[in-house]
Amino acid sequence: MGLISISKSVLKYPDSAMKLFTLFFTSVLLVTCHLSLVTPVSAVTNPLSVPNNKYGIHIISATRDEASEAARLVNTNGDWGYITVLAESGDRNEVKWQEFFSELRRRHLIPLVRLATKPDNGNWKRPYDGEEIAWADFLDRLNWPTKNRFIILYNEPNHGSEWGGFADPEGFAVATKKTIDALRQKSADFFILNAGFDASAPNNPPAYMDQEEFMKRMDTAVPGIFDKFDGWVSHSYPNPGFIGKPNEAGRGTVRTWEWEQQLLNRLGVTKVLPIFITETGWKHSEGVVENKSFPSPEVVASYYKDAFSSAWANSRIVAVTPFLLNYQEPPFDHFSFKVNSQTRLASDASRDYHLPYYVLQDAQKQKGRPLQDESAALTKIGIEKDGFTNYFDATSSGTFASFAYDEPYKLVLTFKNTGQSIWGDGNEMALILFGGGPALEKTRFDLQDKKIEPGQEVTFEVPLLPLKGGAYKMLFNFYSGTAPLMEKDYPFEIEVKAPVFLKISASLKWKKNFAGEYLLSVLGQLRYALSTTQINTVLNNEGKSETLETKYLLPDQQYIFTLEKPYYKPKTISQTIAPGTNEINFGELQPDIRSAILKPIELWKLLPWSN
C-alpha cells in the first residue's frame, strides 16, 4: 500500500492520490506470454457477470482484526464486498498470507492485492531482476478466496518516490509486462490490474510526471501494454486537497476514472475494462489534531452517500475501496474511518467509527456471488462392520468388494475439500449415490450443520442392506447444488459371497501341549487408514481353535494377523481371506526369555524340561 510514498505524496504534493488497489475483468480471451513459448488462455471471469457487491474498503494490514472490521462495513446489508490490501516483497510469508486468505474466505471478503517492493530512504525500491518470478511463485501457492485472483501491479508510478526515486515510464512498462507474463505463465486465474496513477500530479520530472504523458510513454515503450490488463484501477480522489465535491467531474475528481477511460481510448485501447476504484476518499476534520479546514465527518458521510449514488453508480464499476479503514497517526489520520480513541470527542463517546463508516455500513448492497473453484477428492473408502473398517484403495477405475451374504454393512466415504469454497457455507452439499438396487435404502446424504473449509475432510456413512446373493453396481459423487465436485462419478461394485470363518493354529517351542489363551489381532492393511480389532482365542492341546465367526472380515481381502501369548514373542503373518473357512497357521511361537527373566515360575514354564 506504499505508506511511505503516500506520506511523501501528501506532504510534498497535496493533490496526489493515496495508495492501494482493487480488482477485476471480463470473459475468456488469449493473452500473449513471452516468458516461454507458451501462450495460455486467460480464464479470468468478469466479476460483473455474477451478482457483485461493489462496496469495499482499503485496509492497512493483512490481519484477522482488520478483516473483521472490514466485513462489518462492506457486508452489512450485502455480501462478498472488497478490500484493498498491500503485499510487500519482504512479507512473502506463505503461512501468514494463507491464514489471512482463509479468514477472508470465512468473512466473505474479496482481496485486491497490491504488490509493493521495499521502502528505501523515502522511496520504494524498483523490483530486482527476477522478482516477477518470485511474486508469481508465491501468489500461485496460495489458495485464494475466489476464482479470480486480483493483483494490482505496484502503485502510482508517476511519482518518482514510488519507483526508486524518479519517474520512469519506459522502465515501468517493461517491468509491468514481465510481471504480467510471469503471472499468466503460472495461472490463467490471475486477474491483473494496472498500478493506479495520481491524476493530479504535476509534470515535474523526475519527482513527478503528468499521468497522460507517463501513459503515452509506457505505450510507446511496450506497444499495447494497456490491452494486457483485465481491469482498470483508478485513484479517483476528490482534489484539490482531498476535499472536492462529489458532483464534480473530470480529471482530479471522484470521476477521474471517466477521464482515464477517455485517455485509454485515445491510446487505442478498445477493450472494455471493468473499473476498480481502489483509492478515493475525503479528508475529514477529526484527527490527532482537529483541522477545521477539512469538512466534518458528517459532511464527508454525505459526500460518500452522494458519490455512491451518482459518480460511482456506473455499471462498469466493480469495486470502490475508500482510503482508509483505520489509521490513527499522521499523515492519514484525517482519512481514517475509525475514531482515534485518544482524541475522541465527547459527542463521539459512544462511537468506534466516524459517521462515514455507519453511512456506508447501512447502505443497501448486493449480495455478491463471486465464482469459486469447487472440487472434492475421495480420500478414503471403507466398509464398516461391528466397529471394524475394511479400507480400500480409491483407484481411478473404482472399487470392488466382496460381502458376506445376509449381513448389513456401512460404506464409509471420506471426501477432502480441494477447492476454494467452504462447504456448508450457504451452499447445498450432498453425497448422492446412483444404482445399487436393493443394497441402498437411502441414496442422498446431505452435509448438515457442518462447515468444511479447503483442506479439511468430511466422512459419510452409507448403510448397505443385507443381500442374499448376486452382484450390485453403483456410482456416487459429491455435489454442490446440482454440480458434481469430482471429475467423474466413482464406481463401486459389490459381490455377495459366503461369510468368512477363521480357524487358528499354532505351536509352542519346547512344548508338547499348546493349550491356553491367546490374543489374535487383525489389522486392515492400508497405509493411510488402519483399522484393528483383537479376539481372545483359546487353542486346544493340539494348538487348534474352534471355528471363529468373523462377519466383519470381507472375502477376498488381505489382512495382517498377529498371535500373542504371554511370555512368547508375537508372530505376524499376512493372508488373503477366502469365502468360507480359512486356516491361519502361525507355526511355532518362540519363548521370550527376557520378559520372564524376573519371574522364575514363568521362566520355568518356558523351558523344555517343564513339560
Here the cell at position 534 is 483383537
Binning the chain into helix, strand and coil, the percentages to the nearest 5 are: 25, 30, 45
Find the mean pLDDT for residues 442-448. 96
Q: Specify the higher pLDDT residue, 16 or 305.
A: 305
Which pLDDT band, with edges at 50, 70 and 90, does 396 fall under? confident
Range of the domain at 131: 3-362
Q: Give the pLDDT of residue 342.
A: 78
Q: Give the pLDDT of residue 584.
A: 98
Shared domain for 522 and 380, answered yes or no, is no
**pLDDT for 346 beyond 60:** no
Q: Give the pLDDT of residue 347.
A: 52
Shared domain for 385 and 518, answered yes or no, is no
Residue pLDDT, tens place only, 255-297: 999 999 999 999 999 999 999 999 999 999 999 999 999 999 9
Residue pLDDT, tens place only, 36-58: 333 333 468 999 999 999 999 99
Question: Is the preceding peptide bond at 246 cis, omega within 30 degrees of 0?
Answer: no
Instruction: Report the SS3 class of residue 136.
Output: helix
Q: Give the pLDDT of residue 4.
A: 33
Shared domain for 466 and 333, answered yes or no, is no
**pLDDT for 34 beyond 50:** no
Q: How far apart are CA 91 and CA 61, in angstroms?
A: 11
DSSP string computed for 86-122? EEEGGG--HHHHHHHHHHHHHHTEEEEEEEE--EETT
Domain contains 25: yes
Number of helices (H), then strands (E), in the chain: 11, 29
Residue pLDDT, tens place only, 501-541: 999 999 999 999 999 999 999 998 665 567 889 999 999 99
Domain contains 408: yes
Residue type, 179: T
Domain contains 369: no
Residue 425 Cα distances to 106, 149, 298, 337, 452, angstroms: 9, 21, 37, 30, 8
Shared domain for 208 and 327, answered yes or no, is yes
Q: Give the pLDDT of residue 268.
A: 96
Q: Please choose, from the candidates 410, 428, 369, 385, the residue with its C-alpha nearest in 3D space to the C-alpha of residue 45.
A: 369
Question: In the predicted model, what is the mean pLDDT of the chain?
Answer: 91
Q: Give the pLDDT of residue 610.
A: 84
Last-in-domain residue among 442, 470, 497: 497
Domain contains 370: no
**CATH code at position 90:** 3.20.20.80
Q: Please choose, from the candidates 429, 416, 406, the residue with its C-alpha nearest in 3D space to the C-alpha of residue 380.
A: 416
Q: How far apart are CA 231 and CA 295, in angstroms?
A: 32
Out of 3-12, 188-197, 452-461, 527-536, pick the least confident: 3-12
**CATH code at position 505:** 2.60.40.4130
Q: Give the pLDDT of residue 609.
A: 86
Q: Give the pLDDT of residue 524.
A: 86
Last-in-domain residue among 477, 497, 517: 497
Q: Is there a contact between 156 and 195 (Cβ–Cβ < 8 Å)? A: yes
Q: Is there a contact between 516 and 566 (Cβ–Cβ < 8 Å)? A: no
Shared domain for 234 and 322, answered yes or no, is yes
DSSP 159: B
Domain contains 368: no
Strand partners, 508: 589
Shared domain for 505 and 490, answered yes or no, is no
Shared domain for 449 and 542, answered yes or no, is no
Which pLDDT band, with edges at 50, 70 and 90, does 31 fall under? very low
Q: How many domains does the chain have?
A: 3
Shared domain for 582 and 505, answered yes or no, is yes
Shared domain for 436 and 567, answered yes or no, is no
Q: Give the pLDDT of residue 611.
A: 78
Q: Specify the higher pLDDT residue, 391 or 30.
A: 391
Domain contains 131: yes
DSSP string computed for 460-514? EEEEE----SEEEEEEEEEEETTEESSSSPEEEEEEEEPPEEEEEEEEETT-S--
Domain contains 437: yes
Last-in-domain residue among 454, 473, 497: 497
Domain contains 367: no
Shared domain for 186 and 92, answered yes or no, is yes
Which pLDDT band, with edges at 50, 70 and 90, does 3 fall under? very low
Residue type, 279: E
To the nearest whole percent, how much of the chain has pLDDT over 70? 91
How many residues belong to the chain?
611
**413-442: buried (b, 16+ CB within 10 Å) or exposed (e) per residue?**
bbbbbbbbbbbbeeeebbbbbebbeebbee
Q: Give the pLDDT of residue 528.
A: 57
Out of 199-208, 218-227, 406-415, 517-526, pick the least confident: 517-526
Shared domain for 300 and 436, answered yes or no, is no
Shared domain for 116 and 236, answered yes or no, is yes
Which pLDDT band, with edges at 50, 70 and 90, does 21 fall under? very low
Q: How far apart are CA 504 and CA 583, in angstroms?
A: 6
**CATH code at position 412:** 2.60.40.10
